[in-house]
Amino acid sequence: MDLSVEEIIDIHSHLGNILYPNGGKLICCKGLPDRSLFDTGFKFRNLFDAGFYAALFKYRHGGKQPNALVRAWGTWSNRNRNAVATLENMQKSLDASGVSKSVVLPIAPYVTFDDICDLGDERLICFTSADFDDDLDVIERKLDGHVSRGARGLKLHPIIQKVSLDDPKTYDVVEMFSKHNLPILFHSGVTTYYFGDEKKKERPENGGIVGARKLMAAFDNVNFIVGHAGGIGVDEVISTMAGYENAYVDTSFQSPEKISELINVFGSKRVLFASDWPYGDRKVSINIMKEACDGDYSVMRDVFNKNAKYLMRL
């Protein structure tokens, strides 16, 4: 049976160095090695990349907490992928995987909407991001301006931005963005991005699910996309979030089995395909999603494009 769909929208990807100031300068660099490993074939450096093995085993162990050594290996590998998140490599990945459009998520202040808009590739759909160091009136003016220039949603990253989802600052930003009737995608899942003294740059505990549930309950008029479906906390997402009608989930880094559970619990109308490129691999992510859909074309069409179009009003 032909399991192809006419259009694939990746709801979760990044450009630029999202971990350091002026990370947008990376976007237009040329000639950096492509870390979308399954898009470019096996290379010797894959032996040292945790993402290679995660893709090789198709995320079969999604939802399980790895030991400290494996977590550190994953952090190191992801930092290497972050360092080559260029437009050139993004375009190579899109070409190789057949993904039609990719949502690019900035994380202010390191990568901003201004860094990712107007890059000349119609396959890219841009979200905006709030710089929480700005005054509220400045944030609102910027967000309004970004939406007028084409932003189709808002990205929150409580770990890297160090502002929890139940922080009053987050509530203020969500309230001012809610008038646009566009989705808000937030990172979920306790994880880390830095080593040593740089750990002060992050708040891993902010990736927990409790604050997310409070936020969704407080703003039941806003559609939220739970990034990574909670990551290793996917079981908690499955058991506690399906009752929120404004809760959608993206499938990055989840196994076929967990995605099948998500579809069964949330329904196919509230699950969205995602790779989290450059950290995830698009070809593998597509195969995982197709396996989870078990040949149901209607479900595949929902998760690969219809749900994303509905939320972003495309």
pTM for this predicted structure: 0.94
Instruction: Please tell me the predicted confidence (pLDDT) of residue 1.
Output: 35
DSSP code at position 20:
S
- What is residue 34's predicted lDDT score, i.e. its pLDDT? 73
In a domain, 260, yes or no: yes
The predicted pLDDT at position 68 comes to 83
Q: Is residue 3 part of a domain?
A: no
User: How crowded is residue 23: how many other Cβ atoms within 10 Å of its Cβ?
Assistant: 23
Summarize pLDDT for 136-186 with one digit per residue, the tens.
999 999 999 999 999 999 999 999 999 999 999 999 999 999 999 999 999
Structural domain count, the chain: 1
- Within-domain flag for 4: no
Establish if 192 belongs to a structural domain.
yes
User: How far is it, in rounded angstroms, from Cα 263 to Cα 162?
Assistant: 31
Report the 10 Å Cβ neighbour count for 264. 12
pLDDT per position in the chain (314 positions), as tens? 345 678 999 999 999 999 999 999 999 999 987 764 444 444 555 667 777 667 666 665 555 667 788 788 888 888 989 999 999 999 999 999 999 999 999 999 999 999 999 999 999 999 999 999 999 999 999 999 999 999 999 999 999 999 999 999 999 999 999 999 999 999 999 999 999 999 999 999 999 999 999 999 999 999 999 999 999 899 999 999 999 999 999 999 999 999 999 999 999 999 999 999 999 999 999 999 999 999 899 999 999 999 999 999 99
Is 2 a member of any domain? no
Q: Which domain holds residue 232?
A: 9-312
Counts for the chain of helices (H) and strands (E), in that order: 13, 9
Q: According to the model, what pLDDT value does residue 58 have?
A: 64
Cα–Cα distance between 176 and 314 in angstroms, integer?
Answer: 22
**Any domain includes 56:** yes
CATH of residue 172: 3.20.20.140
Residue 113 lies in a domain: yes
131 within a domain of the structure (yes/no)? yes
Please report the pLDDT score of residue 274 as a whole number. Answer: 98
